[in-house]
Chains A and B, each alone.
Chain A
């Protein structure tokens, strides 16, 4: 008992303190683990995190004005638009110098398109001016103010200069303001004209439709998943193929099939007219509206609800239900008090999956949604691929991302994310 009187640290066999020795072993272990997941980590970083970070950055980035017109931006600092007059000769001289460089590099038209998002007409203003300014001699052709205004009287427009000044910073919140139907006015942020407000409405509609689609997927998917998990394996495997079959068919084909079924001269209307439920001149409008979007997307996303539900339900022992009934519960009580609570993890997983998928859908709504059934993602797609306003597209995407994160957090608070199971 007396040999434990040693007061120094506990030593390992090789004489180093045990604590340090253990730490070293642990560190080696951790490093090996890290190396093992490194390929995946790098892959996720490069293909997932980096693009998202890039998108978030694009929504505030605004280098183009200061990069293309460096001298003008500096000269414009002292100008105050409240004066009600276009800036003086110094600014125009700087503009002439900047434009000559920009025309050489062919960046002036790019800047024009960028500023045209904020004020209509700037695109052609820059294109037109670039052609003329190219031929000027900076040393001998001064003064430039009158010359610019002679090219286009818009150069004398205070509002054009205000836009250039407002967007001369390296970063801007303009895209985000735009994404919530606001703009940078002369006196700070202001609401856009009512005839141009659309994004908040689309955001609300996207939420509403996504929730509706999730609920209808749940309503349709729950009984199917229950059936699948309560019949013999062989039959359930066969039925599972039917659930998965839509996965193997092209999205466009499935969407077009809904068109054939739902349109006014389509199969369903024909049958209804033939049966006599609907008058021939009063056929139901079931497509090119919200109804069409809900139907088509519920069909497309249904497997994403059924699969997690099925895998959770399969793990619920049927004996529990029998036990509940033998103790006197009615069918409903047995289901509601015993079975349903155990299937909640599946409902959570399926709902999150369907909701997040539907919030970013745009092909199906574009084809069957008409004007009332399109999502905010349709506008994002438009800005990315057609108007090239990537900043606005990025801002809209960021807002959507934020919204999903908030909903995820809410879900975690209310239901608990540990309660989500995919099997």
Chain B
């Protein structure tokens, strides 16, 4: 009798326990197709394995840096895991708003035992940033509006004679300045040295001047796909995943111009100053979400490359379209014949100055 009671009490406790210890993780990301891919690849499996955890989605990544700073000043941090681009992560780390990660201790090793630091390699660009995907900013063009010889080089963007018509570029100096110098004959490895000088910056602006009247400047990643679909522009830069969805999912007459694509990273940070239990929960989630299999899984839903070397061979087919995803990855050898690596450290220094100059140049 006694033992039955005890058993009952124990099972009642066991039933109550998860409710009492329920953990809520606030997961901040970009929304849209990207958040969906994370939900399917990371969040759903994680919640299935940890029934006591609820993941709450927040789509504040575009304002993550400002909001985290405001939360920090107010002394009330409500986010647990934040998805940001590498440049923002570096800024957050500099401002002391993101927690430093001990990569080998906090992250899972590859299946063959390679430690995380080696598996991620030089993609670990900041002490606070856990890379998740490699994406690239590259050009797409309308196959029906560029004549019989489609563009093959990034410099064709600057060639108004061969390809008359409008093109769309992002309304910020990053990437545009580099492409301008590359097409003005600066060798790839000297671009940032040249761009550090006043004369080099003028040179880049001069090159951009040659197409300024034919450019539509975008500020949201969805602008270029819309402009291409409507035939407003004949070519334009945007994130490769957006172009993938335009070409493969929406079947528009658009093709990729992978030449001189600029690699960039997106990944997680954990806000600094979380209480210990939430910090542990966030770390546990991140350890799961950025292991080899999970990163490879994400590529089933969106055309961004996994940040781990060990994930690359595991990339399979698109979950709905059933097409092979590997050839659509920016890191695929066929696409990555000529790539450009965004220099984070350099831009962290020059961003304020060049942005002021760029905006003044735009307004002229």
Contact = CB atoms under 8 A, between A and B. Distances in A.
Interface stretch (A34-42, A349-357, A365-373, A408-416): A365-373
Interface string A381-406: 01011111110000000000000000
A210 B96 CA distance: 40
A108 to B, nearest CB: 9
B249 interface: no
A259 B226 CA distance: 10
Contact of A198 (B93, B166, B351, B363): B363
Interface in A105-125: 105-107, 109-110, 112-113, 116-117, 120-124
B94 A379 contact: no
Given A116-B352, A385-B65, A127 B360 contact: no
A127 B127 CA distance: 12
A370 B217 contact: yes
Given A120-B349, A372-B363, A109 B95 contact: yes
Nearest to A259: B226
A112 B94 CA distance: 8
A117 B232 contact: no
B357 A195 contact: yes
A196 B360 contact: yes
Interface in A263-292: 263-266, 288
B341 to A, nearest CB: 17
Interface string B327-361: 00000000000000000010011111101110111
Given A197-B360, A202-B363, A372-B363, A387 B94 contact: no
Contacts, number: 87
Chain B at the A interface: SS class: helix
Nearest to B223: A367
Contacts of A107: 96
Contact of B232 (A120, A202, A265, A389): A265
A366 to B, nearest CB: 6
B93 A109 contact: yes
B114 interface: no
A201 interface: yes
Nearest to B63: A385
A113 B350 CA distance: 11
7 contacts: A109-B95, A113-B91, A113-B94, A259-B226, A385-B66, A387-B352, A388-B66
Given A195-B360, A259-B226, A371-B363, 8 more contacts: A109-B95, A110-B95, A112-B94, A117-B352, A263-B232, A367-B220, A371-B217, A387-B352
The 8 closest A-B pairs by CB, nearest first: A109-B94, A385-B66, A120-B353, A106-B96, A198-B360, A371-B362, A196-B356, A265-B231
A387 B217 contact: no
B216 interface: yes
A201 B355 CA distance: 16
Interface string B65-79: 110010000000000
